[in-house]
Amino acid sequence: MTRRLGRFDNEALAELARMELERHGIHAEVVGGSLNMLAGVAALSDGIQLLVQDEDYECAREVLSTTQS
């Protein structure tokens, strides 16, 4: 099951966060951005979201908190 790690107003920032997580071996997915809309993925009108697996959530939070400092 996936869990929302964050919500972004800017798709580029969400993608940068996703790439940082992937660099640490954590699979993440950006939903709600223009690329997802073009691919036909329906998103709830809740902005651009960064999703991770439940079991990766705490580690992902730690990775992003250290990179944003």
Domain 2-67 classification at class level: alpha beta
pLDDT reported for residue 43: 46
pTM over 0.85: no
pLDDT reported for residue 51: 96
pLDDT reported for residue 67: 78
Determine the Cα–Cα distance for residues 38 and 53; give it in Å rounded to an integer: 24
CA-based R_g, the chain, Å = 12
Q: Where are the domains of the chain?
A: 2-67
pLDDT digits over 8-55, tens only? 988 899 999 999 999 999 999 999 866 555 444 544 456 799 999 999
